[in-house]
């Protein structure tokens, strides 16, 4: 078995901590965390309480120490950090979105593809067993229509409040970039290229992120209806990806299909997202190691992430 790759992390908020914990607890055969950088003193305190992984003095120090850099900083920092790491000969694993500036994202992807860069984006549905079950069920279907629904009690969600300074703002945050993008990635993988046919978006006064979206899209030749809203459920987070009203992914990790009595029946191995997440992240990190070694992997490509981002920004800028 190949040796684990050295993984550096920039940005030690929710996602950085989540990936570090997964690396330590579930993926030691794939990655070895070698350093973290985050400018927040609180981040350094949290890191020291979790594991003996050094808080490096700078982003440059993390890049120098690693084989692959995981970038979990706010979106505006993604491309500058990725360019810096790639220039140093490192592989890159980015959080989405690539950026909020589409021109910058397009230029970055073009440059990375031209240079053969080792880079991927963290859309965990690329490694989800529940998505694998959907794919198996879909083989018996002729896709005719897809409905995507995302609902939130509040935005940001309760566990995201430490990042509300940007997640709640229109410039970089919002549930369409943070949550809907995952289901658009899934749709692109399962059904084909995405095209926005019509969209509307509701914003609060000021610079706050969107409170509602409605859109009609196509994925390949399949019509897609998309709806999302804040204050539309009592649950913190509720979502459904429903194909032909016959199979669906519910609440991130529950694969279901229609039973003969017309109800929804869960897959035999279905489990809530809290239990599914460690397995998915273990698979994602195995993909990170393979990508870093230049091997085949299931992770989202830069091109896929760019296509998703283009759809997201088209929805968010709809009249």
Tell whether the model's pLDDT for residue 319 goes beyond 80: no
- Do the Cβ atoms of 225 and 148 come closer than 8 Å? yes
CA distances from 39 to 42, 81, 88 (A): 9, 14, 21
Q: Please tell me the distance from the alpha carbon of residue 168 to that of residue 203, in angstroms, as a whole number.
A: 11
Handedness of CA 157, 161, 162, 163 (dihedral sign): positive
Contacts (Cβ under 8 Å, ≥6 apart) of 49: none
Tell whether the model's pLDDT for residue 1 goes beyond 90: no
Mean residue pLDDT of the chain comes to: 96
Fold of 126-272+308-316: Dihydrodipicolinate Reductase; domain 2 (3.30.360)
Q: Please tell me the distance from the alpha carbon of residue 293 to that of residue 311, in angstroms, as a whole number.
A: 31
Tell whether the model's pLDDT for residue 281 goes beyond 80: yes
Q: Where in the chain is the domain with CATH 3.40.50.720?
A: 5-123+278-300
pLDDT digits (tens, 9 = 90+) for 133-190: 999 999 999 999 999 999 999 999 999 998 899 999 999 999 999 999 999 999 999 9
Q: Give the pLDDT of residue 162.
A: 85
CATH node for 5-123+278-300:
3.40.50.720
Residue 83: half-sphere exposure toward Cβ, Cα within 13 Å: 13
Q: Please tell me the distance from the alpha carbon of residue 197 to that of residue 311, in angstroms, as a whole number.
A: 10
Q: How far apart, in Å, do the first and last CA atoms of the chain sit? A: 53
Q: Please tell me the distance from the alpha carbon of residue 271 to that of residue 195, in angstroms, as a whole number.
A: 32
pLDDT digits (tens, 9 = 90+) for 80-124: 999 999 999 999 999 999 988 999 999 999 999 999 999 999 999
pTM: 0.96
- Do the Cβ atoms of 56 and 36 come closer than 8 Å? yes
Q: Where in the chain is the domain with CATH 3.30.360.10?
A: 126-272+308-316
Tell whether the model's pLDDT for residue 17 goes beyond 90: yes
CA distances from 117 to 44, 49, 95, 108, 213 (A): 31, 35, 16, 11, 35
Share of the chain above pLDDT 90, in %: 98
Q: Please tell me the distance from the alpha carbon of residue 230 to that of residue 222, in angstroms, as a whole number.
A: 27
- Do the Cβ atoms of 67 and 291 come closer than 8 Å? no
Mean pLDDT, residues 48-53 = 92
Q: Give the pLDDT of residue 163.
A: 87
């Amino acid at each position: 078995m190949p040796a684990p790759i050295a993984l550096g992390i920039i940005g030690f908020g929710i996602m950085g901590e989540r990936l570090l914990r997964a690396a330590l607890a579930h993926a030691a055969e794939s990655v070895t965390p070698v350093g973290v950088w985050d400018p927040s003193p609180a981040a350094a305190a949290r890191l020291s309480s979790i594991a003996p992984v050094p808080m490096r003095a700078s982003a440059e120090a993390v890049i120098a120490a690693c084989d692959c850099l995981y970038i979990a900083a706010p979106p505006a920092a993604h491309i500058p950090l990725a360019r810096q790491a790639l220039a140093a000969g490192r592989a890159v694993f980015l959080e989405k979105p690539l950026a909020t500036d589409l021109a910058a994202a397009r230029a970055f992807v073009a440059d990375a593809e031209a240079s053969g860069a080792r880079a991927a984006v963290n859309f965990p549905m690329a490694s989800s067993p529940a998505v694998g079950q959907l794919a198996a069920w879909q083989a018996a279907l002729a896709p005719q229509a897809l409905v995507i629904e995302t609902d939130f009690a509040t935005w940001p969600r309760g566990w995201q409040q430490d990042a509300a300074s940007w997640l709640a703002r229109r410039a970089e945050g919002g549930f369409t970039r943070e949550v809907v993008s995952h289901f658009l990635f899934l749709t692109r993988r399962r059904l084909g290229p995405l095209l926005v046919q019509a969209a509307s978006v509701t914003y609060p006064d000021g610079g706050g992120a969107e409170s509602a979206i409605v859109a009609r899209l196509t994925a390949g030749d399949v019509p897609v209806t998309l709806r999302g809203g804040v204050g539309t459920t009592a649950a913190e987070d509720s979502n459904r990806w429903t194909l032909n009203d016959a199979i669906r992914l519910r609440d991130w990790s529950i694969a279901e299909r229609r039973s003969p009595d017309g109800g929804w029946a869960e897959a035999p191995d279905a489990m809530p997202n809290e239990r599914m997440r460690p397995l998915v992240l273990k698979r994602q990190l195995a993909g990170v190691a393979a990508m870093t070694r230049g091997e085949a992997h299931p992770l989202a490509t830069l091109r896929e992430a760019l296509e998703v981002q283009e759809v997201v920004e088209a929805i968010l800028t709809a009249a």
